[in-house]
């Protein structure tokens, strides 16, 4: 069975070593590592994010979310770990906006 958590940790450690040993390679000023809830029902997604918020000691960010995401995060210096639930209403808005994407053609002349 694949250990995604261990692979992630090793990848982050290797990235840190790589950036440390290659100062000529640019690095982002404020990277964010996203975790998206895999549940389907809004109440299950919110419950999962609530549990994560309790574990990391961070409040829920929802009321001021520009996209209607239910989220929590913690920072390690400029690096952010962010757990997100994309609730049904936010997904529906996104799908509605994107439903016209193929209908709009750019005039190349």
pLDDT digits (tens, 9 = 90+) for 46-87: 999 999 999 999 999 886 666 678 999 999 999 999 999 998
- Look at strands 70-76 and 32-36 and give their pairing: unpaired
- Assess contact for 84 and 32: CB atoms under 8 A: no
In the prediction, which pLDDT does 5 show? Answer: 94
**DSSP letter (8 states) at residue 29:** S
> Predicted confidence band at 92 (pLDDT cuts at 50, 70, 90)?
low
In the prediction, which pLDDT does 45 show? Answer: 95
**DSSP letter (8 states) at residue 95:** H
What are the tokens at 96?
């509605």
In the prediction, which pLDDT does 72 show? Answer: 96
Residue 41 to residue 44: CA distance in whole angstroms: 5
Q: Which pTM value belongs to this model?
A: 0.78
- Assess contact for 107 and 61: CB atoms under 8 A: no
* Domain limits, the chain: 29-101
> Predicted confidence band at 13 (pLDDT cuts at 50, 70, 90)?
very high
């Amino acid at each position: 069975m694949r250990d995604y958590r261990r692979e992630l940790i090793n990848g982050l450690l290797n990235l840190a070593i790589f950036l440390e040993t290659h100062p000529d390679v640019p690095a982002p000023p404020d990277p964010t590592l996203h975790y998206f809830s895999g549940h389907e029902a809004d109440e299950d997604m919110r419950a999962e994010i609530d549990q994560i918020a309790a574990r990391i000691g961070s409040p829920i960010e929802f009321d001021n979310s520009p996209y209607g995401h239910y989220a929590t995060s913690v920072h390690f210096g400029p690096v952010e770990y962010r757990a997100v639930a994309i609730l049904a209403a936010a997904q529906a808005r996104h799908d509605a906006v994107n439903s016209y994407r193929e209908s709009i053609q750019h005039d190349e002349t």
